[in-house]
Amino acid sequence: MLETFVRIAERGTISAAARDLGLSQASASRQLSDLEQRLGVDLITRTTHALSLTKAGETCLTEARLLLADWDGFAEQFADEAESLSGPLKIVAPIALGQTIALDCAVAFQNAHPGIVLDWILEDRPIRFSETGCDLWIRIGDVPDDTLIVQPLSTVERLIVAAPGLLPEDAQAEPERLVDQPCLALSPFEGGRIPLSAQDGTVRDVAAKVSFSSNDIFAVKRAALSGAGYAVLPRWLIAQELEEGSLIDLLPDWRAPSLTINAAYAPSRRQTRRLRLFLKAMSDALKG
């Protein structure tokens, strides 16, 4: 009954939830009614066109997800460790990372474990973890939810890069060389300054002359490749371009502040084996 309720809440309709679970609509509806009767509260308000959670339903949804996760972890104790992994994994990942190296890892993991059903959601903005109903939230930077367990996976090295020809070849590789050059910024870009650190610990701020900004890192990368200016980009995104020479590291001795790639998940007495192994695979892939 709990699984049926959670699926109805996530899908928004009883019929869609019933299809997902391989039930008839009547059976799914009956399970929901039975759960409401046992709890003594209405969990969902039914209208002609939509379903919506009541206050009790919102509380029940959060608790039900935790209980189901605990049950999965409990049931796995009685499975053979050599047994193939199976079951759903719902992951929220950043858009750029989730279309490149994180996606490669996820697909490789699923290929190795065909019984895993992946729901791969791309989102850069902060999410409400309990409402999204995901198993794992991969986020670059701080996780703004202190109810979650946060596990650092890797760090992101960020370089100042541009297409060849933006600056004279003999220009000294110092931050001051950027002052009069157009900056291609990933928004939101606040403060108008880029803090840079040298290997010896020296720190300098560069005033950025922003000529182009976008909330899409692929757009910023493409603008940099076109020669429109310099950009602060993560090494993992531009490794091939650096190797080919279509982008160059303008300041080899200086780096913008690194960022941490974090994995966040809800606290549970028992973490499922599939989530535990997925986390290890993702950590290994990102550190590699």
The pLDDT of residue 79 is 60
Query: Between 25-39 and 2-11, two packed helices, what is the crossing angle to 10 degrees?
Result: 110
Residue in this structure with the two tokens 């919506």, named with its chain if needed = 52
Q: Which residues contact 76 (CB under 8 A, 6 or more apart)?
A: 270, 272, 273
Look-up: residue for tokens 């992946």?
Answer: 118
Any domain includes 91: no
Q: Answer whether residue 46 is part of any domain.
A: yes
| Banded model confidence at residue 288, pLDDT cuts 50, 70, 90 | low
Alpha-carbon span 60 to 74, nearest angstrom = 20
Band of pLDDT at residue 128, cut at 50, 70 and 90:
confident
Whole-number pLDDT of residue 83: 63
**DSSP assigned state of 85:** P
Residue 184's CATH number: 3.40.190.290
Distance CA 187, CA 133 (A): 28
Is the residue at 174 inside a domain?
yes
Angle at 65 between CA 63 and CA 66, to 5 degrees: 65
134 located within any domain: no
Tell me what pLDDT residue 287 has. 83
Using an 8 Å Cβ cutoff, are 19 and 10 in contact?
no
**Is 1 domain-assigned?**
yes
Highest mean pLDDT among 67-71, 77-81, 185-189, 192-196: 192-196
Residue at 145 is within a domain: no
Q: What is the mean pLDDT of residues 67-78?
A: 70
Task: State the Cα–Cα distance between residues 284 and 288, nearest whole angstrom.
Answer: 6
Query: Which residue among 78, 105, 125 closes a domain?
Result: 78
Considering the domain boundaries, does residue 97 fall inside one?
Answer: no
Show which of 30, 50, 78 is a domain's final residue.
Answer: 78
Section 68-93 average pLDDT: 74
Residue 23 phi/psi, 5° resolution? -110, 160
Residue in 252, 226, 104 with CA at minimum distance from that of residue 162 = 226
Over 70: is that where the pLDDT of 138 sits?
Answer: yes
Q: How confident is the model at residue 80 (pLDDT cuts 50, 70, 90)?
A: low
Average pLDDT of every residue of the chain: 88
Q: Are strands 248-249 and 203-207 parallel, antiparallel or unpaired?
A: unpaired
Cis amide bond preceding 188, omega within 30: yes
What is the Cα–Cα distance from 224 to 218, expressed in whole angstroms?
10
Domain end residue (candidates: 54, 78, 102): 78
Residues 6+ apart with CB under 8 A from 198: 204, 253, 254
Task: Check whether 215 has a pLDDT greater than 80.
Answer: yes
Q: What pLDDT sits at residue 170? A: 66
Q: What is the pLDDT of residues 31-48, one digit of tens each?
A: 888 888 888 888 888 776
Name the more confident of 130 and 59.
59
User: pTM of the full predicted structure?
Assistant: 0.75
Does the structure show a pLDDT above 90 at 262? yes
Q: Is residue 268 part of a domain?
A: no
Task: Assess contact for 27 and 18: CB atoms under 8 A.
Answer: yes
**Which pLDDT does position 76 carry in this prediction?**
64
Better pLDDT: 64 or 73: 64
The CATH code of the domain that includes 71 is 1.10.10.10
Task: Give the whole-angstrom CA distance, residue 63 versus residue 168.
Answer: 61
Which carries the bigger pLDDT value, residue 224 or residue 36? 224
Of the candidates 244, 248, 279, which has an alpha carbon nearest to the alpha carbon of residue 265?
279
pLDDT tens-digit readout, 167-205: 887 666 789 889 899 999 998 876 688 999 998 889 999
Give the number of domains in the chain: 2
User: Which residue segment(s) compose the domain that 64 sits in?
Assistant: 1-78
Per-residue pLDDT, averaged over 126-151, amounts to 89
